[in-house]
């Protein structure tokens, strides 16, 4: 039986410790292609490169493993890996391990999860992994068994079309992790606080800072799971329709413009 072809990317860049750790775990499962950017693309969301040219350079190749660097975004990396390097659809896409949580509303801003959603749109089983530790030297050792467990299940059971997975792992010693919990996305928001500065030419500029506000604390949510030392798994879709609102909006009877 042929080994699965696995495509890996991330949004912390090709030198990130989380990417290297994820790669070492995934090489147990099949042939690995890494495509990632040289620099961090954190907070890039579902950005794609349409107005600029894209570079793609082979960095390393050995039996069962290839590594390419691009100047594109995480979503570009998925597209380039599939179209230019593989010339075919990979069997599995994994993204991460993100340095920091992608639970709750963080998924909306995340390049790591955008790559996963892109894989999902393309019809490929896709999983994003994040560790709840933002430091570049985070200890990823706790992640291995959970990644293997989730990947094994996905390879065996498959994922429904239009569904991918957002997996967040608490940054605590392995003996403190209570298990895996299937969740829904928690409601929360970031409050921006821009830091105002003035440059040497007397022009204003701003740095984005802010704090995270939890808008609920429900045991069914990924944020609760992560806060309580569970590995959270949320099934994610790219159908953004607020289905419950469709019928309500129809009652608005758009005056003179309705059906």
Q: Pick from 63, 137, 157, 175 the residue near its own copies by CB under 8 A.
A: 157
* 144 interacts with its own copies by CB under 8 A: no
Closer by beta carbon to its own copies, 28 or else 178: 178
Using CB under 8 A as the binding rule, the residues of this chain from 216 to 255 that contact its own copies are 230-231, 233-243, 245-246, 248-250, 252, 254-255
Contacts of 130 (CB under 8 A, 6+ apart): 96, 97, 98, 100, 101, 102, 103, 110, 112, 166, 167, 168, 169
Q: Pick from 5, 17, 122, 155 the residue near its own copies by CB under 8 A.
A: 122
Instruction: Give the Cα separation of 241 and 11 in Å (integer).
Output: 26
Site string for its own copies, 69-88 (x = CB under 8 A): ------xx--xx-xxx----
Closer by beta carbon to its own copies, 63 or else 246: 246
- Determine the length of the chain: 259
* 117 interacts with its own copies by CB under 8 A: yes
Instruction: Give the Cα separation of 37 and 87 in Å (integer).
Output: 20
Instruction: Give the Cα separation of 18 and 85 in Å (integer).
Output: 23
Which range binds its own copies by CB under 8 A, 15-23, 93-101, 126-134, 183-191? Answer: 183-191
HEC per residue, 93-127: EEEEEEECCCCCCHHHHCHHHHHHHHHHHCCCCEE
Q: Pick from 61, 139, 149, 216 the residue near its own copies by CB under 8 A.
A: 149
Size of the site for its own copies (CB under 8 A): 88
Closer by beta carbon to its own copies, 64 or else 84: 84
Q: Pick from 35, 46, 90, 130 the residue near its own copies by CB under 8 A.
A: 46
Instruction: Give the Cα separation of 119 and 128 in Å (integer).
Output: 10
Element spanning 143, H or E: none
């Amino acid at each position: 039986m042929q080994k699965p072809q696995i495509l890996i990317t991330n949004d912390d860049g090709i030198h990130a410790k989380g990417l290297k750790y994820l790669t070492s775990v995934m090489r147990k499962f099949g042939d690995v292609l890494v495509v990632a950017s040289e620099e961090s693309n954190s907070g890039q969301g579902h950005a794609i490169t349409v107005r600029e040219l894209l570079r793609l350079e082979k960095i390393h190749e050995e039996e069962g493993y290839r590594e390419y660097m691009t100047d594109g975004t995480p979503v570009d990396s998925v597209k380039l890996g599939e179209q230019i390097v593989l010339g075919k659809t990979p069997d599995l896409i994994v993204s991460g391990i993100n340095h920091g949580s992608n639970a709750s509303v963080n998924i909306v801003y995340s390049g790591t999860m955008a790559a996963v959603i892109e894989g999902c749109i393309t019809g490929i089983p896709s999983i994003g992994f994040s560790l709840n530790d933002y430091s570049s030297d985070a200890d990823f050792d706790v992640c291995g068994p959970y990644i293997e467990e989730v990947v094994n299940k996905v390879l065996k059971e498959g994922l429904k079309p239009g569904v991918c997975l957002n997996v967040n792992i608490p940054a605590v010693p392995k003996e403190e992790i209570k298990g895996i919990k299937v969740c829904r996305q928690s409601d929360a928001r970031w409050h921006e606080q821009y830091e105002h500065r003035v440059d040497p030419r007397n022009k204003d500029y701003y740095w984005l800072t802010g704090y995270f506000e939890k808008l609920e604390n429900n045991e069914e949510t990924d944020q609760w799971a992560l806060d309580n030392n569970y590995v959270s798994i949320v099934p994610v879709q790219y159908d953004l329709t607020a289905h419950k609102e469709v019928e309500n909006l129809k009652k608005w009877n758009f005056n003179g413009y309705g059906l």
